[in-house]
Amino acid sequence: MCLPLCLNAMARRVARRDFLATSSLGVVAAASGVATALPTPPQTIRYTHVVDLTHALDPSFPTFGGQVQFQMETTTTLDAEGWNTHRWHIDEHTGTHLDAPFHKSDHDSADRIPAAKLVGPLVVVDVRAKAAANPDAELTPDDLESWIKKHGPIPPGAIVAMCSGWDAHVRTPRFRNSDSSSTLHFPGFHPEAAELLLAQRDIKGIIVDTLSLDPGSSTDFPVHVRWLGANRWGLECAANLADLPPTGATIVVGAPRVTGATGGPTRVLALV
């Protein structure tokens, strides 16, 4: 696994760029090592519409492994019993879904993530151009720096989303983009970008519009290991991120409150 090397590379990179002194990322990444609780002043949200960041889920929804992960069984009908009802059989990591820290660590299961961690200002990092040119593209520290230069510091308590435009492929083979050796090819977070976001201790979660926080071709899943291992949550298969501004939207992540769950189907709404 590349993680120690990545960490070293990240440390060098951060030092080289004096990143900590020039962006909000540094405010809580300073060297004291003391996690200071940030003040939580009243929040104000102004919005005119609600954007649905959730794909509709049916049994044909693509999955990381390629197998069917959702089935819906009719249990009663309006005509026969007076009620329409179904029973679902569903793997937690299906559709637009949460990765709880417990998916890849001994940290919080879905039910233990505090509600306040599921609401926050949304940062949308647009990597569509490079993803269109290269399906193995990654959201890197350079992308975060560019965002900060244009839009200012990442807000306290933010949720950071990679907008690769990959949701447009959801009903085509390109969504998984499996090659002849069954390796997948779609964008994800670079582990150094995840490290930089971890350094801003109050960032609540990260979001991708692909099947994995790591790029599809990853074999060791360093972003899952580090991000979930730091007791943060991730969200995969988001939709419609391109309909949102780079900053200014507030996101509400309707993650399942299922005891012991490692994740699960999630309704994600943005107030814009």
Interface residues toward its own copies, by CB under 8 A: 40-52, 54-58, 72, 75, 78, 82-93, 95-96, 102-106, 111, 115-116, 118-119, 252-262, 264-269, 271
Distance of closest approach, residue 181 Cβ to its own copies, in angstroms: 20
Give 25 or 57: the residue with its C-beta nearer to its own copies: 57
Residue whose CB is less far from its own copies, 107 or 151? 107
For residues 151 and 160, is the Cβ–Cβ distance under 8 A? no
Q: How far is the CB of 227 from its own copies (least distance, A)?
A: 14
Strands 205-208 vs 267-271: parallel, antiparallel or unpaired = unpaired
Cα separations in angstroms, 7 against 22, 51, 66, 258: 20, 36, 32, 34
Neighbour order of strands in the sheet with 119-126: 50-52, 267-271, 249-254, 119-126, 159-163, 205-208, 233-236, 97-99, 263-265
- Cβ-based nearer residue to its own copies, 1 or 15: 1
**Minimum distance from residue 56 beta carbon to its own copies (Å):** 5
State which residue, 134 or 183, has the beta carbon closest to its own copies: 183
Residue for token digits 């399906």? 135
CB 93 within 8 A of CB 64: yes
Minimum Å gap between C-beta 246 and its own copies is 20
- Calpha distance 191→228 (Å, rounded): 12
Closest to its own copies by CB, 193 or 270:
270
- State in angstroms the smallest separation of the CB of 75 from its own copies: 7
